[in-house]
């Protein structure tokens, strides 16, 4: 693939991890960052994630590809003006919700320069220092409404994702948001709620630290995730998140009822039903 001058808007966990891969896979001729957080800007330079930090307008003018790795509320705010400024540059976002931003651009004359993507990878940490080498390898990336993107833009973005080791799925934006609510967003809400439950009931922090098992740690790990990222995701995907929350609450109620009534057979059946997930996740 031809090397491109690439700008990453938001050099945090996702943007920083992508920057490492773009360097290592020789996809970037030059890599600049745009970063509103001055500390993150300093860290991105110190860690050699990007070659320099520029203001957004300068970064757009000097780049062939603009990658948006920012919270989805900021994405909705910035993307229309970014699309206004581009000529033949490619604009790609990495956001976790897609319907709202795609709807926002549907009648834009330069809509074709935009490729809507969601790499299915992340950790509970944030900022440039959380960036991970090899983060995206053997993970899925969703490309939404691919037919609305120009062929050359789509081809380059697909090639980039393949080069960094991802496998590509294409999906309509509304279907993406529905599935993301079921397999990603509910996991975070559950983790946040569990953390709040334990913090409310167990007042001894030392007891939590000393007694928490590996199972608890893995379940509550996502509760450390950045609220500035996740609040906008939940709000933008409100309808699907509420739908899956209702089902989750209903499932919790079944467990509560079986224990209250000492219905061992029902409780056993609920857990056996849950065990069926082994068929999908090894």
User: Is this model's pTM higher than 0.85 or not?
Assistant: yes
CATH number for position 258: 1.10.3660.10
* Whether residue 154 has pLDDT greater than 80: yes
CA distances from 241 to 92, 103, 224, 230 (A): 25, 19, 19, 12
Residues 88 and 210 both lie in one domain: no
Contacts of 69 (CB under 8 A, 6+ apart): 8, 9, 10, 11, 12, 14, 15, 18, 93, 94
pLDDT in tens, 35-54: 999 999 999 999 999 999 99
| Single residue among 121, 140, 172 that ends a domain in this structure | 172
- What's the pLDDT band for 262 if we cut at 50, 70, 90? very high
Look at the chain and report how many structural domains it folds into.
2
Q: Are residues 210 and 71 in the same domain?
A: no
Give residue 219's pLDDT. 86
Residues 121 and 240 in one domain: no
User: Which residues are CB-neighbours of 78 under 8 A, at least 6 positions away?
Assistant: 9, 56, 68, 70
Which residue segment(s) compose the domain that 76 sits in?
A: 4-172
Banded model confidence at residue 151, pLDDT cuts 50, 70, 90:
very high
Co-location of 120 and 250 in the same domain: no
Domain boundary among 141, 172, 203: 172
Q: Among residues 62, 79, 140, which one has the least CA distance to residue 114?
A: 79
pLDDT tens for 57-91 read 999 999 999 999 999 999 999 999 999 999 999 99
What is the domain-level CATH number for residue 8? Answer: 3.40.50.720
Do 156 and 220 fall within a single domain?
Answer: no
Average model confidence (pLDDT) across the chain: 96
Same domain, 138 and 206: no
């Amino acid at each position: 693939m031809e090397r491109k001058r690439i700008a990453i808007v938001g050099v945090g966990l996702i943007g920083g991890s992508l920057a490492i891969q773009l360097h290592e896979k020789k996809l970037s001729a030059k890599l600049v960052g745009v970063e509103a957080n001055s500390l993150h800007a300093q860290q991105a330079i110190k860690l050699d994630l990007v070659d320099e930090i520029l203001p957004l307008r300068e970064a757009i003018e000097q780049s062939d590809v603009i990658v948006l790795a920012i919270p989805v509320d900021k994405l909705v705010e910035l993307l229309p003006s970014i699309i206004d400024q581009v000529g033949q540059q490619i604009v790609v976002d990495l956001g976790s919700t897609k319907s709202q931003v795609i709807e926002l651009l549907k009648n834009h004359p330069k809509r074709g320069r935009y490729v809507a993507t969601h790499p299915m990878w992340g950790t509970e940490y944030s900022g440039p220092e959380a960036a991970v080498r090899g983060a995206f390898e053997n993970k899925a990336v969703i490309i939404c409404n691919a037919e609305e993107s120009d062929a050359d833009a789509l081809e380059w973005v697909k090639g980039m994702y393949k080069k960094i080791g991802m496998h590509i799925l294409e999906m309509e934006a509304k279907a993406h948001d529905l599935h993301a609510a079921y397999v990603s967003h509910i996991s975070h809400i559950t983790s946040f709620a569990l953390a709040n439950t334990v913090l409310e009931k167990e007042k001894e922090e030392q007891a939590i630290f000393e007694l928490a098992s590996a199972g608890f740690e893995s379940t509550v790990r996502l509760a450390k995730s950045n609220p500035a990222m996740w609040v906008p995701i939940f709000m933008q995907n409100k309808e699907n998140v509420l739908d899956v929350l209702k089902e989750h609450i209903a499932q919790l109620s079944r467990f509560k009822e079986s224990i209250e009534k000492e219905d061992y057979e029902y409780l056993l059946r609920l857990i056996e039903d849950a065990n069926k997930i082994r068929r999908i996740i090894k």
